[in-house]
Chain A
């Protein structure tokens, strides 16, 4: 009887631990991310990009847009449960839909 209970409970404990580990993994801990964007040639059209980025649920603020360098500095909300990879995938889609091109991360501040 005890053995049966152990066989049932033990996998659940391992599963719980695995889920806890995964939950910890999805907390990116990213506070700020600077991304590279191609196609920004004027403030008026780049404002559309700022609006699109501000609408993403994990972005707290568009801190700075540097047209000369093609860099966009984003502040990330606290407690965001996304990996950096997931965030980059979402940013790439958002930027593409705003008629610009995402070209990777310049800097991440955790």
Chain B
């Protein structure tokens, strides 16, 4: 009962005080520069599948975003890992686990904007927290039970014909139970275009090419570095957005363009994501 109450409390704290990444046309695997109107809110459902060697992870997530002012949006992400599967080297047996991931709360503040006819330039600052909400005694583990902190800045130049985004995100992982995941640096660059002239009353199609570079520092176990962790991988892949009125569907697939991981680690194969946004 106490656990249930604590869970409900955390959920409401997160949803009441958090922030979001869901907005309009944005990078699929990174943050974007769009906020939401004052008093408006958005709901998003997401699905993500990633395959890394013998490892597979399928995740669904719900995002909620609220516009506190025209400059500040707060949001919460509630991820649920449907299936995480790992296979030990030399063994046929695969281990599977499922459960709640790390709840995430974010705030997005619009630092700079310039609006012209059919053009929009924006820069935002994003801060977030990931909470240690993953289940205990899972094999494979669904994540570490530590608090993570996210700092990011995203810029965008959007027109009626094309859009360009750039994002830098740094994730600071804290120590817990003698272990510390390596901090992560993400660089996202994306460019998209509309194949036909835009109209407010027509279905809007937007095609993107998204590039993501992820650098992860070595993890630490009892203050010594784990040489079989960390490295960098660069993903690239197409993304499509389709929207009508206040409904937006997005989908994308990415494969590694180049990869360098330390020690004995599985290499990335591909990742797929799609989501449905509703703005109110």
Contacts and interface: CB of A to CB of B under 8 A. Distances in A.
B37 A97 contact: yes
B173 interface: no
A38 interface: yes
A15 interface: no
A100 B117 CA distance: 10
Contact of A98 (B38, B117, B201): B38
A27 interface: no
Interface string A39-52: 11111111111011
B229 interface: no
Contacts, number: 92
Given A39-B120, A68-B160, A101-B115, 17 more contacts: A41-B118, A41-B163, A43-B200, A43-B201, A43-B204, A43-B245, A45-B24, A47-B245, A49-B37, A67-B118, A67-B198, A68-B118, A70-B118, A97-B39, A97-B70, A98-B40, A98-B70
A68 B279 CA distance: 22
Contacts of B163: 41
B119 A44 contact: no
14 contacts: A38-B117, A41-B120, A41-B159, A41-B163, A43-B200, A43-B244, A44-B243, A47-B279, A48-B36, A51-B40, A65-B200, A67-B200, A98-B37, A99-B110
A41 B201 CA distance: 13
Contacts of A49: 37
A51 B280 contact: yes
A44 B198 contact: no
A43 B110 CA distance: 21
A101 B69 CA distance: 15
B208 to A, nearest CB: 13
A96 B39 CA distance: 12
B170 to A, nearest CB: 26
Contacts of B159: 41
A43 B40 contact: no
B3 interface: no
Interface of B: 24-25, 34-40, 69-70, 110, 113, 115-120, 158-160, 163, 197-202, 204, 206, 243-246, 248, 279-280
Interface of A: 36, 38-49, 51-52, 65-70, 96-101
Contact of B116 (A38, A46, A65, A99): A38
B38 A97 contact: yes
A101 B110 CA distance: 14
A103 to B, nearest CB: 8
- Could you say which of A39, A41, A52, A97 has the most chain B C-beta atoms within 10 Å of its C-beta? A41
Nearest to A103: B117
Contact of B37 (A36, A44, A48, A70): A48
A51 B38 CA distance: 11
Contacts of B113: 39, 99
Nearest to B279: A48
